[in-house]
Amino acid sequence: MSLFMDADQSVLVIIDEQQKLLPVIAGGDHMLAQTIRLASIAGLLGIPVIGTEQTPDKLGPNHPDIKRLCDLTLAKTHFDACADDLQAALPPDRKQIVIAGCEAHVCLLQTALSLLGLGYQVWVVLDATGSRRNSDREAAWARLQQAGAHGVTVEMVAFEWLHDSRHPLFREALKFIK
């Protein structure tokens, strides 16, 4: 088990960044912008991007900029996306999950805990994660950290995925980082 994120082992999972939910998330605009940066870098590097939508018939679809960056979007009714077949959608040869989205203390938390329990390594992108209240987001992060998840930022993820300034896509990835 590596302490570093590896682009060849990673999957980006974006939890419920839905148009009707984003306006009530504390710092929702910033979280959305960070998630778009992250998903753009993942796409550039060929890292699978999976989105989820909580009861989309009621909460609507993911933000269009998120939807277009996802290779696959799963509709779900459970708060834990693994209960709605997320694991089946994950490439079997990738065991590192980078996760972002909302609400941190509900759907993101429950999904990340399930993934940890299934043996995946989980990195929570803290600047691309939100809840209606910051106290809920902080409590979720504390619990996830105790459970073995790693906290990171978009830039930390990008540079670990790139690994070297000689990476052939380094200059192109910098457009999303800066």
CATH number at 63 reads: 3.40.50.850
Give a yes or no: residue 145 inside a domain. Answer: yes
**Preceding amide of 103 cis, omega within 30:** yes
Give a yes or no: residue 4 inside a domain. Answer: no
Give a yes or no: residue 3 inside a domain. Answer: no
| 8 A C-beta contact, residue 41 and residue 157 | yes
One DSSP character per residue, 74-137 reads EEESSSSGGGGTHHHHS-TT--EEEEEEE-IIIIIHHHHHHHHHTT-EEEEEEEEEE-SSHHHH
Return the pLDDT at 90: 98
- Mean pLDDT for the chain? 97
DSSP state of 151: E
Q: Is the pLDDT of residue 1 over 90?
A: no
Give a yes or no: residue 67 inside a domain. Answer: yes
Give a yes or no: residue 41 inside a domain. Answer: yes
Per-residue pLDDT reduced to its tens digit, 5-27 = 999 999 999 999 999 999 999 99
Q: Show the tokens assigned to 33.
A: 């912008």
Give a yes or no: residue 5 inside a domain. Answer: no
Return the pLDDT at 133: 97
Structural domain harbouring 30: 10-177
Burial class (CB in 10 A: 0-12, 13-18, 19+), 3: exposed
Q: Is the pLDDT of residue 75 over 80?
A: yes
Return the pLDDT at 110: 98
Return the pLDDT at 47: 98
User: What is the pTM assigned to this prediction?
Assistant: 0.97
How many domains would you assign to the chain? 1
Instruction: Work out the average pLDDT over 81-92.
Output: 97
Give a yes or no: residue 155 inside a domain. Answer: yes
Instruction: Work out the average pLDDT over 152-163.
Output: 97
Return the pLDDT at 66: 98
One DSSP character per residue, 13-62 reads EEE--BTTTGGGSTTHHHHHHHHHHHHHHHHHTT--EEEEEESHHHH-PB
